Structure 1
Amino acid sequence: MDLLFWLAVATVVVVLCFDYTNGFHDAANIVATVIASRAMTPAQAVIIVGIFEFLGPLLGGTAVANTIGSFVRLDGIDPASALTILLCGLLGAIVWNLLTWWRGIPSSSSHALVGGLVGVVVVSAGADQVVWGFRELFHNGHVSGVMKVLLALLLSPLIGFWCGYAVQRLMHALLLAAKPAANRGLKGAQFLTAAGLAFSHGANDAQKSMGILTLVLLLGGFIPTFTVPFWVILACASAITLGILSGGWRIVRTLGFAIYRVRPLHALNSQLTSAAVIFAASLAGAPVSTTHVVATSIMGIGASERPRAVRWNKAKEIATTWVITIPGAALAAILIYAVLRLFLGPA
């Protein structure tokens, strides 16, 4: 019981650390276009984003948490082993987040979490402990498990790109005769769209940690059913907000400048598009990558205006990172699990 208790404590701490690195890693996704378009100072961006990031998990429901907490099955194995597996999966995701932050590459924390957990579960407990969802999808059209997570992560960038493309075309047509002074209004409107993006990010991304933390409590026998306690919501909201306030500012340059030269209209359209796509996904219980949606919305906006001005080489670099994130995080988690088993002995 003592080992189980301390494993649970360690895993809860690591979940909150992942939540913090998620916010730290994704801070640039939210503030990049605001700062690049000079709509806000960094201090103003931090205040606005911090407030609404915290409100997102509190008011955004738990649909995404339910999805994340159910794509691996660990209730049929020893609780201590189950918590060890979760711990290693989370550590693998954290290692990948820090590595990509250090390199200034906007990879996906969501992909890292999925990769870390699936990789270590397959190696340690077997592939049948993962809810893949392939059979349910092809037999009765029901989307669940890993399939639901992957579809959300794969489709959301495409939706972000084409929504950004369409919104830019529409706004450009509406403002065709506008004078340069209109930029002042576009910058002012970003206080609303940036707040909306921060809220939607909190509502989606913090729920991933809420789902894992609730799964830890369930596997440890601390709660009878998978129901997210309020203190879990509050803890995850606080951790991700602290991460946002700390800020992974290295990625601001990549998203704000290296893909397309962002002006006030582009920034407003990117924030509006991203906020709408991410919040809709949150309501549907679909975990998406804020990094993917923001980056592809900027690409779509650039493609609708001046395709040749979009730095597609940078886009290819980001896309390559997206492809390797799941296997990369999985490998990191597996290595951590192997090292941990050397100290703890066989499961």
Structure 2
Amino acid sequence: MDTILILTILVVICALAFDFINGFHDTANAIATSVSTRALSPRRAIILAAVMNFIGAITFTGVAKTITKDIVDPFALENGSLVILAALVAAIIWNLLTWYYGIPSSSSHALIGSIAGAAISAAGIGILNYSGFIKILQALLISPFIALAAGFIMMSLFGLIFKNTNLYKTNKGFRIFQIFTAALQSFTHGTNDAQKAMGIITMALIAANYHSSDDIPLWVRISAALAMGIGTSIGGWKIIKTVGGKIMKIRPVNGAAADLSSAIIIFGATLIHLPVSTTHVISSAIMGVGSAQRVKGVKWGVAGKIVLTWVITLPITALLAAVVYQLLNLIF
């Protein structure tokens, strides 16, 4: 086998590994509130999330096409397979580190930062597609603030609508409603996050001249969806504990408000073909919900650590990917 074919196979394997890790890393966010309020047992929540993630992943391809062509033009990329492999290795390393320490960092930031860093390391800063890259960065940066506001508004509305309702009955009703919101949250996660690995694989196929357009092959869609579904079934208990309990004390009404508002934001981004961080959106929605009830009820120290991780992910993964690219370049 020639070097390009070997690299392409390695890219496919690493992209599916990235989606698998994303499954137990990021999907934990989607079911964290329903598990913490005991609306669903961990086992049922994980099975529900795995199924809904798979369905969401094979339903849409718009975000995958954005990843394929809007950061770097794959048709103009020399050593494209090596660049993409370096990006995936760096993103996987960062995801595993943050998962190990239970920090809900963004797989989206990790992947996009890694692609940019590896590409710049290979061909200089001019290789970036500035308009597309800035558009993606804007979506990643603005979406948490929108989610914060949406969570605040959603919780305020719930507070007005149910202010005269018996607390026990309200919590019981919202616990049932959370089964629906957890399913919706997992579906929207699949429509956005699983797309990123699809885009990466398609980008590698184009760079290696095995594919001639930004259309996502069916086998890529199914394999990426399966990888994320299997990863989800493994679960991510460390992330669930952070998102589901360490930001604020979550009751069923809080969980439903956070799930519903964040699912709307994520699905809205999917419809306009923009990748967003489900981690950022869900965590921000929880902060917004907590602020609507009682600002002091939010553990802003934990929230601050999460925000710090968001800020440092892009530059660290870009630098890491640049180093990994140079190391791989020596090998290949």
- TM-score under structure 1 length normalisation: 0.93
Does the aligned pair in 2 maintain the 1:27–1:249 contact within 8 Å? no
Task: Report if the CA contact (8 A) 2:121-2:326 is conserved.
Answer: no
- Distance in 2 (CA, whole Å) between partners of 1:221 and 1:163 is 44
Alignment match, 1:225? 213
Match of 1:242 among 230, 234, 256: 230
Match of 1:104 in 2: 102
Shift of 1:6: 1.0
**1:336 is the counterpart of 2:324:** yes
| Counterpart in the other structure of 1:92 | 90
Partner of 1:315: 303
User: Deviations 1:145-192 (Å, cap 9, x if unpaired)?
Assistant: 111110110111011100000000000111111111221111111111
Q: Give the SS at the match of 2:75.
A: coil
Q: Which residue of 2 aligns with 1:152?
A: 139
Q: Secondary structure at the match of 1:288?
A: coil
Given residue 324 of structure 2, which amino acid in structure 1 is its aligned partner? I
Letter in 2 for 1:62: T
What is the deviation of 1:77?
A: 4.4
Per-residue Cα deviation, 1:168-220 (whole angstroms, up to 9, x for no partner): 00001111111112211111111111110000000000111111111111111
Q: Retained in 2: the 8 A contact 1:27–1:245?
A: no
- Which residue number corresponds to residue 62 of structure 1? 61
Counterpart residue type for residue 248 of structure 2: Y
Q: Of residues 149, 161, 165 in structure 2, which corresponds to 1:178?
A: 165
Residue 21 of structure 2 is matched in structure 1 by: 21
Query: Residue 106 of structure 1 aligns to a residue in which SS?
Result: coil
Judge conservation of contact 2:53–2:190 (CA < 8 Å) in 1.
Answer: yes
Q: 3-state DSSP class of the match of 1:181? A: helix
The CA distance in 1 between the partners of 2:321 and 2:234, in whole Å, is 25
Report the counterpart of residue 142 of structure 1 in structure 2: none
SS, match of residue 243 in structure 2: helix
Q: 2:112 aligns with which of 101, 111, 114?
A: 114
Q: What does residue 288 of structure 1 align with?
A: 276
User: CA contact under 8 A between 1:57 and 1:206: conserved in structure 2?
Assistant: yes
Q: Structure 1: which 5+ runs fail to align?
A: 134-144
Is the contact between residue 110 and residue 288 of structure 1 (CA under 8 Å) also seen in structure 2? yes
- Post-superposition offset of 1:302: 0.5
**Residues in 2 aligned to 1:74 and 1:212: alpha-carbon distance in whole angstroms:** 10
Percent identity, aligned pairs only, is 40
The list of structure 1 runs, each at least 4 consecutive aligned residues, that deviate by more than 3 angstroms after superposition, is none
Contact between 1:92 and 1:336, CA under 8 Å: does it hold in 2? Answer: yes
Aligned residues: 330
Does the CA contact (< 8 Å) of 1:74 and 1:129 recur in 2? no
* Runs of 5+ unmatched residues, structure 2: none
